[in-house]
Structure 1
Amino acid sequence: MVLFQEFLDKMDDMEHREKLEEVLMWIQQSYPGLGTVIKWNQPMFTEHGTFIIAFSVSKKHFTIAPETAGINHHKGDIEAAGYDYTENIIRVPWDKPVDYGLLEKLIGFNIEDKADCTTFWRK
């Protein structure tokens, strides 16, 4: 979490900060082999140099960015969780619970789907 601490420290709302910190810590504990990096002012998780998942924050929600392929593959799960989404991001309202099962699916899909990927982003 040391790498992400500066990002978290910039968040003014303590409840929001604690919620996102909990998510980031859960990923680190659940997937200890993933690398951590900050790019484009977003905390990201990587594996063998390829992007797995990233997060950003706004006033009303935080976003999960698993790349378009992950969103397309799990649209039904995203809708079942009650989250709004676009082609590139999933919005998790601060006042809704985090669906960790969905996070597992998104991360697991990217790890498996990108096992042989040699670039940061899918091509």
Structure 2
Amino acid sequence: MEVFAEVLKKVDNPEHRERMEELLTWVSEEFPSLSPVVKWNQPMFTDRDTYIIGFSASKKHVAVAPEQIGISHFLEEIEEAGFDHTKELVRFKWNSPFDYDLLKKMIEFNIVDKADCTTFWRK
């Protein structure tokens, strides 16, 4: 988690920092083939230099960003779970359990869907 140390220091609330570290550690352990990187001051994971998923901490939630196609692909599950979302991200509230099952599906979907992608973002 050394790559995320500076980003984690910027999360003011110690409980939020701990949960964010737990989340990033979970992704690293669940998907050891992904590369942890920081771009635009945000922790994210890539596969062959292609964006897979990114995170950002705010006061009330952690934003999970699987790109727009990741949101649209899982929109029904996101809405059934009651998560607030935009076209680009899902908000996991700090005071609720993180939905690791949904997160795992999003990551697996992006790894497969972007297997032949040669750019950082989808075109």
Decide: shared fold, TM above 0.5.
Answer: yes
Distance 1:98 1:77 in 2: 14
Corresponding letter in the other structure for 1:82: G
Residue 36 (structure 1) shift = 1.2
Q: How do residues 42-61 of structure 1 correspond to structure 2 at under 5 angstroms?
A: 42-61=42-61
Residue 77 (structure 1) shift = 1.4
Distance 2:68 2:106 in 1: 11
Equivalent residue, structure 1, for 2:17 = 17
Residue 12 (structure 1) shift = 1.2
Which SS does the other structure have where 1:62 is aligned? strand
Distance 1:10 1:122 in 2: 29
Equivalent residue, structure 1, for 2:109 = 109
Equivalent residue, structure 2, for 1:71 = 71
Identity of aligned residues (%): 56
Residue 79 (structure 1) shift = 1.5
Equivalent residue, structure 2, for 1:98 = 98
Distance 2:7 2:81 in 1: 26
Deviations 1:64-122 (A, max 9, x none): 00000000000111122221000011111111110000010100000000000000000
Distance 1:38 1:107 in 2: 17
Deviations 1:28-49 (A, max 9, x none): 0000000111111100100011
CA-atom RMSD in angstroms: 0.7
Which SS does the other structure have where 1:87 is aligned? coil
Which SS does the other structure have where 2:70 is aligned? helix
Corresponding letter in the other structure for 1:74: F
The TM-score with structure 1 as length reference comes to 0.97
User: How many aligned positions are there?
Assistant: 123
The TM-score with structure 2 as length reference comes to 0.97
Which ranges of structure 1 fall in alignment gaps of 5 or more residues?
none
- List, as ranges, runs of 4+ consecutive aligned residues in structure 1 with deviation greater than 4 Å: none
Distance 1:62 1:28 in 2: 17
Equivalent residue, structure 2, for 1:38 = 38
